[in-house]
Every structure is written in C-alpha cells, then in structure tokens.
Amino acid sequence: MIDYTHPHAEKIHQETLSILQHAPSAARLLEQAPLPPGALRIFKTLYPRIFVPDEQSLYIGLPATQDYTDIEQVIDLAAALLELKAKREGMKRPDQALDQEESLQKQHLINLDLILHTFAIVQELEDAGYKAVDCIRKQGLAPLPRVVAAS
C-alpha cells in the first residue's frame, strides 16, 4: 500500500493556518466555521493542488520535497475554506444532467463568487506583508484584483 502522507504535513498545516490568521476575513472564516480535527489533510502529489470533497474535508496536495509553506498554498486554502463554507450553507455544484450551457453558466457563477471573496483575503495578506498579489499575478490572474478594487 502506498503511503501518501506528506513528510512535512504537520509543519505546513500549522504554518498555513498561522499565516491565514493575518487576514481578518480568513480569521473570521476559521472562527465561524472551524475545521474539525483531521479535516485538513496534506498529502504527497506531483504538483500543488487542493480539493474540497464534502462539507467536512479539505485536502492539500504538495510535492514530497516541499518542506515550507508557500503563499500559493495559503491562498488556495483560503479559497478552499470559502468553498467549504459555501457547501455547508447548501451550495451545490451544477447537476451534470443539466444542459451543458446551463451547467457551465452555474459553475462559472459559483467560481466567480469564490474568486472574488478569495481576492479580499489576498489583499489582506498583501497588506500584512505577504506577496499574495504577486502570487496571483504569476498564476495569470493579474487583471482580477483591479476589478475587485473597483467594485
């Protein structure tokens, strides 16, 4: 049996949550919808990824050689916490039985809502001295923070 446990999971877990506390919106989110023990699991993957399978679980995948917390994982966790909260409040992804156009439209609206709320946390992390805006620019999302700031 393959062991997918990340060798630095506990350290990265603590550091990620600690950094999130510097964003007031994320700190409130963690306070209002705390993660049950064992809900956040960090495992080995080839490249960074995050997955929210249900209302009680968050999975972060990182390369096994990564022994530090990257701001990208902090931002991903913020987005995942927002999705987790939305799922707990009854948000459902579109049914695959829907018309493809309707399904895509609903999916895009959900994603846009999550992205806009994540950008508020990104700005708070930036204000706290983290290079969060730089990180999302490198991910190809450079125009979106300006849209958020203008709204």
* 36-52 pLDDT tens trace: 888 888 999 898 888 88
Span 86-90, average pLDDT: 81
Does residue 118 form part of some domain? yes
Does residue 127 form part of some domain? yes
Does residue 49 form part of some domain? yes
Give whole-number Cα distances, 96 to 99, 106, 139, in Å: 8, 11, 28
What integer pLDDT is reported at residue 140 of this predicted model? 65
DSSP code for 33: S
Does residue 4 form part of some domain? no
Strand locations in 2-89 (E): 40-44, 49-54, 57-62
Asked if pLDDT for residue 96 goes beyond 80, the answer is no
CA-wise closest residue to 139 among 122, 120, 117: 122
Does residue 1 form part of some domain? no
Q: 87: which 2 tokens?
A: 């799922």
Residue showing tokens 């007031």: 24
CA-wise closest residue to 72 among 150, 148, 10, 141: 141
Q: How many structural domains are present in the chain?
A: 1
